[in-house]
Amino acid sequence: MVRSHIDPEPGHEIRRIQPYEAHKTYICPGCNQDIPPGTGHLVAVPEEAPDLRRHWHYGCWAARHRRRPGRMR
Report d(CA 35, CA 11) in Å as an integer. 24
Question: Euclidean distance between the first and final Cα of the chain, in Å?
Answer: 22
The mean per-residue pLDDT over the stretch 11-15 comes to 93
> What is the pLDDT, as a whole number, of residue 7?
76
Reported as half-sphere exposure (CB side, CA atoms, 13 A), residue 49 has a value of: 3
How confident is residue 72, by pLDDT bands cut at 50, 70 and 90?
very low
> What is the pLDDT, as a whole number, of residue 5?
66
For the stretch 26-68, pLDDT in tens is: 999 999 999 999 999 999 999 999 999 999 999 999 998 887 6
